[in-house]
Amino acid sequence: MAALTIEALNALDVEDFVARLAHIYERSPWVARAVYAAAPFANVAALHAAMARVVEQAGADAQLALLCEHPELGAGATLTEASAAEQGQLGLTTLDAEEAKRFAAENRVYREVFGFPFIIAVRGQKDRRAILAALDARLRNTKEAERAIALAEVNTIARFRLEDLFGAGWTGRLTTHVLDTARGRPAAGVPLNLYRLEGEAWVHLGHFQTDADGRSASPLLEGEALRAGQYELVFDVGAWRAAAGQDGTGFYDQIPVRFRVDDPAGHYHVPLILAPFGYSTYRGS
């Protein structure tokens, strides 16, 4: 299909709208149908955010079903056109016998542990070895943390597919979200402070707070404001617990996460998967 414009998409009726976006989430056109009510969209980034929000609010059963629609990497299964193109970029559809055997074994272990296939945005990976390394590393995650990571990867895949559909990406930005695994829902109202290393000093760039979906309501930085360099995002979970009347229910007070931005045109998503006595974070998108 020819590249869309966001204006043309906004003008479609529901059936044509769903038909154009049905492939964005693997074999799950219900996401496109659900997001139609939120139209019109100001830009492609707003559309992606709305679709991700549909998935986040869909409930555990629908999320699991969505994860299970994804094919195992390198398994030689029947693939959708989008998945075949993505896996083909790294040669996952033409593995030799030894590689195919290793991928099959790793996929089997992962599915036995977590109950859904290993999912990673292949387009963002350097090579097949990087994918296997990520699979091995993620096997050490808790089930709650890994499910959150898998859903984030699904949203990354959706972003790449939207870029293909519309023929363009969008400007670089920095975003975050916080998931409260103790309650199985987003952590709303978590105070955040962002810093960038300027010479030998950490310069405060802004104070933020997560919204009702546990996300930054808008990018923490975007466009020219997002420069290459070292950053620190501090999650004030102690203040959040105190405000919610949960003093004494967790171990951490402030959680600093330091990371590097190498490509200012990229999307840097820094989520926090929070438990009372532990946490994890990763580079999302």
Residue-level pLDDT at 284: 77
Q: Write down all domains in the chain, each with its CATH number in brackets.
A: 1-170 (1.10.3330.10), 173-281 (2.60.40.180)
Residue-level pLDDT at 27: 96
Choose among 261, 265, 275, 283: nearest CA to 120.
Answer: 283
The H-or-E segment that residue 143 falls in is: helix 143-166
Residue-level pLDDT at 209: 92
Residue-level pLDDT at 71: 92
User: 26 and 85 in contact (C-beta within 8 Å)?
Assistant: no
Residue-level pLDDT at 255: 95
Structure tokens, 43: 């830009």
Choose among 30, 194, 26, 220: nearest CA to 117.
Answer: 26
* 37 Cβ contact partners less than 8 Å away, ≥ 6 residues apart: none
Choose among 25, 80, 57, 9: nearest CA to 186.
Answer: 57
Cis peptide before 256 (omega within 30 of 0): no
Residue-level pLDDT at 224: 72
pTM, full prediction: 0.67
Q: For the chain, which ranges sit under pLDDT 50?
A: none
pLDDT per residue over 4-27, tens digit each?
899 999 999 999 999 999 999 999
Length of the chain counted residue by residue: 285
Residue-level pLDDT at 228: 84
pLDDT per residue over 37-86, tens digit each?
999 998 887 898 899 999 989 999 999 999 999 999 987 778 999 999 88
Residue-level pLDDT at 168: 66
Residue-level pLDDT at 271: 93
Residue-level pLDDT at 285: 62
User: 178 and 271 in contact (C-beta within 8 Å)?
Assistant: yes
